[in-house]
Structure 1
Amino acid sequence: MVEAFLKDFFGADLVLGTEISTYKGRATGFVRSPGVLVGKNKANALHKAFPNTRPEIGLGDRHTDIPFLSMCQEGYLVPPKPEVRAVTGDKLLKPIIFHDGRLQGHSCPCLVVYYAFWALGVRVTVKGTPPPPAKKSIGQSGVLFVCSHRTLLDPIFLSTALGRPIAAVTYSVSRLSEIISPIKTVRLSRDRAADASMIKKLLEEGDLAICPEGTTCREPFLLRFSALFAELTDQIVPVAMVNRMSMFHGTTARGWKGMDPFYFFMNPSPAYEVTFLSKLPQELTCSSGKLAMRWLITYSG
């Protein structure tokens, strides 16, 4: 967290600090060798990084940093009660925005949420050409937007890119996520027949978003996903979702997914990129005789 912040906003080339050990991608709570970087450990880490160079300036405290400061060409002790002045914005490489107002911004109506995100420092990039909304007056079925799954916010940013709210089916998300969601969410029952009937009814009402992977993934590939949606309609538009996070990762595979929006919006400059791919040709849909699994192999490959 500290390293990303210092490199992005202060232009630091190298950051040395206490590291937390991990096991299979999870923090253990133990500190990696050589331990907490204070006192001699701090001086040793500095000597290891710069064996033949003395740092020009060192800043530390009078209790633990004497060994470190003695290695620097100039050493300064932090006084017991320092007078701290905030760094002005013109001295930073990028603007920094830390506030929780973004959670209120994503609850705005979809017609203005794009501008709310822009004002709050959240960038939304839209690529490709989305299809127009379905015309129920002529019996036109809604479009099924099939999205890659990065965070629980995917359907919200999809609605932002479209400029209109669309419903989304969900997979066992928390009640908190449903409460703060500005769009309609419908839970799947995990019963194939019941879910198929529900999705068909939702498509009769309008466009629908679905993330068939079933769980979020921050890696640059798709997880194995259910092919049920491919059997229910021939109006399918794949959507590639990419999110940009630097300090906090709003992506939970296991755990309390309701925290995903909080962690995503805590980033200094969060961003989403929504790419509308070409609508699936009629000859590649199940209505023309293609098997759902064959569609998955052909189109996602």
Structure 2
Amino acid sequence: MLPPEPEHGRKTFPLISECDLSSVSHNSIAADLDGTLLKGTLSFPYYILVAIDAGSLLRGLILLMSLPIISVIYIFVSEHIAGKMLIFITFAGIKIRNIEAASRTVLPRFYAADVRRDSFEVFNSCQKKVIVTANPIVMVNTFSTEFLGAEKVIGTEIEVDQRTKRATGFVVEPGVLIGEWKKLAVMKEFGDDLPDIGIGDRKSDHDFMSVCKEGYMVPKDHFASLVSPQCLRSQSIFQDGYLERPSSYVVDYIWLPLRFLLYPFRAYINLTLIEGILKCAYRQMW
């Protein structure tokens, strides 16, 4: 099943900073997640976290090594195919309860450290809040509903083998939710009463934003102000005060193999240094 042909001459949308909630009553909103409600535009670090926590270090390493290929396919071939590859490598063969556990206990503390203030204030001011994302629902549902206050998450559904209760790595039709599929999903969810506001951060979000009464773009900004995690709907995972950006976690993981390779050299240098110090001390004594 293929989505409808995209409309030519896409309309342009004002920036999120131009949204004045005090002058107009906004009851409903449809918002993208990565790059919109979250400052980070890439979801890959979160997939790495799930692959390691719900799967294994080996799975995380395979996913990391696959990144160049996935990136090339995303840029030059198809965002849809790249998304399917990312989901397959991350989830194939993992028990669904392990994925749910990682999404409930690990991901929220990383997501919470990356929530943009400007877009979240607009999102939080509406009554009916729906998140429309290409990410698997099982991966973002807990954070979106419990911490951001979303009423529902519309996203990609991963296929689960009902006999083994493991993810097959494939996605349920219509596939990865991007472009026109987001638009159709929003229209199906809201019916005749379409969202008052639609916010996104990339051209593929224009499809669902175009059916909203008002649409706003969230520009990429490395210095965008973030929401304090204590200001979110739930703080149940922040009691230890530990919060970290997922990028730093991934960097540590990338360095892990190199640390193993450097260990023999470090041990040799340390032992040689200690031996030299002992010899020097021995000569001084005698």
Q: Do Structure 1 and Structure 2 share a fold, with TM-score over 0.5? A: no
Select the structure with the greater relative contact order (CA < 8 A; seq sep ≥ 6). Answer: 2
- Max radius of gyration: which structure? 1
| Greater fraction of residues in strand | 1
TM-score by length of structure 2 reads 0.33
| Greater fraction of residues in helix | 2
TM-score by length of structure 1 reads 0.31
